């Protein structure tokens, strides 16, 4: 077996997603890899369809099966659903 799965670890979004807490920007998420890490480690609400859609879209973007911009949009949807101030 010589098949190799290409992973886009260095994929970035045109504009990072900024996470705000208390009116201050506390974190900048620049692409699907960072978003997936945030969803799995720092996201308080790890349930619900929007959360899982965000996880799936980040994984598919990293595997070059969807556009990174789609992952960004689903990440924003999940943040909004969890009442995380992100833009």
Reported pTM: 0.91
Structure tokens at 19: 């996470």
- Per-residue pLDDT band for 51 (boundaries 50, 70, 90) equals very high
Q: Is the pLDDT of residue 1 over 70?
A: no
Pick 72 or 2 by higher pLDDT: 72
Q: Which of 6-10, 18-22, 58-62 has the lowest mean pLDDT?
A: 6-10
- Per-residue pLDDT band for 65 (boundaries 50, 70, 90) equals very high
Q: In a 3-state reduction of DSSP, which class is residue 17?
A: strand
- Whose structure tokens read 């009116």? 23
Torsion on CA atoms 80, 83, 86, 87, rounded to nearest 10: 40
């Amino acid at each position: 077996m010589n098949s190799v799965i290409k992973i886009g670890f260095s994929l970035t979004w045109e504009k990072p997603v900024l996470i705000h807490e208390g009116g201050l920007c506390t974190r900048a998420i620049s692409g699907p890899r960072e978003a997936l890490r945030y969803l799995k480690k720092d996201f308080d609400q790890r349930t619900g369809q929007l959360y899982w859609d965000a996880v799936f879209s980040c994984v598919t973007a990293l595997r070059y099966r969807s556009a990174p911009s789609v992952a960004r949009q689903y990440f924003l949807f999940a943040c909004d659903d969890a009442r995380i101030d992100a833009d």
